[in-house]
Amino acid sequence: MSGSDNGKKTITLANGVEIPTFGFGCAFGDWSSEGRTNKAIFSPEDAWTQVPRALRAGVRHLDTAFCYRTHRAIGATLGAAFRKGELKRDEVFVTTKVFHPAMPRLYGKTIDLKAPDVLETVQVQVRRDIYASLDELQLGWVDLLLVHWPGDFGSTDRAFNRRLRLLVWRVMEEALDRGMARAIGVSNFTEQHLADLAEDGAVVTPHVNQIEVNPYTQWTAIQEYCQANGVLVQAWSPMGSTGSSMLRDELLVALAEKYGKNPGQIVLRWLVQQDMGVLPRSSNEARIASNMDVFDFEISEADMAAITALTKGRSLTNPSPYDIA
């Protein structure tokens, strides 16, 4: 397949696995238009056009999840590329996630964490979802397997959630040990969630913590904990959510002019320069490629600090990981 080599640049995880710095988020949907409240959250049909487009642009890391419903389109697209000799399995990195709490308009592929017997059944459910993910993807293993959320949204029972997270993590460790995943990690975990997991007896420290990070949304304590403990931070929504005005921020526009780049590239370089993985998404093939074109310049220390100072200290549109005990 064509595309630049920027999508092949990697970061080494704590267990030695090489993960591409850039991934392509495979959660598709229209979250900004009016009239969406009665429809499904995700639009997996978009994967049939957007995933091939990303691969043509040079992306070599696809980030999906069981609840996104894009596994089959990704598997079919990769299978076609394998059959034509355009890609080999070890040339593409696939991440998926399991253990998403139930919520309206997800229509299954989630776990009801309010069920009275969830502590007795959760391991069976997570194991089942991992098997189903591999089957839908038509892959023998995934490169990275993540726990999607640390618990039910708004849950305040820390003791219960700690027990639940450890049970789920044991299944993740099993998947790693059995070769169903080359690396395992978490998503949307706070520093306290991670510390609790370690204290409660995790054998494997999560290799990755995927959280929302962009100039307006920075979780400093989480980022510092991960850096100190060898956990790679992957930034989802790195350029703000759909409809965000962040890329029109005066500072980012000025820096784009200064460095001869666009505001999105400034943001992505700011993240990459902090040794984070990034998961931008675009429906435009040229823009997907340009998003990865950030390895030919460096932002000055003063400008890095100025971008960091833009933080609002919270997410403007997404749930806060601190809302889950």
Point out the annotated binding site.
148
Closest CA to 263 of 274, 249, 280: 249
**Cα distance from N-terminal residue to C-terminal residue, the chain:** 45
CB-neighbour burial class of residue 288 (10 A; exposed 0-12, middle 13-18, buried 19+): buried
Largest CA-CA distance found in the chain, in angstroms, rounded: 58
Question: How would you classify residue 167: left for phi > 0, otherwise alpha for psi between -120 and 50, otherwise beta?
Answer: alpha
Closest CA to 136 of 65, 239, 231, 32: 65
Bind-site residues for substrate: 148
In the block, residue with structure tokens 């929504």:
237
In the block, residue with structure tokens 């889950």:
324
User: Alpha-carbon distance 183 to 172, whole Å?
Assistant: 9
Residues with a known catalytic role: 68
Ordered DSSP codes for 151-201: SSTT---HHHHHHHHHHHHHHHHHHHHTTSBS-EEEES--HHHHHHHHHTT
Q: Radius of gyration over alpha carbons of the chain, in Å?
A: 19
Closest CA to 77 of 44, 30, 29, 31: 44
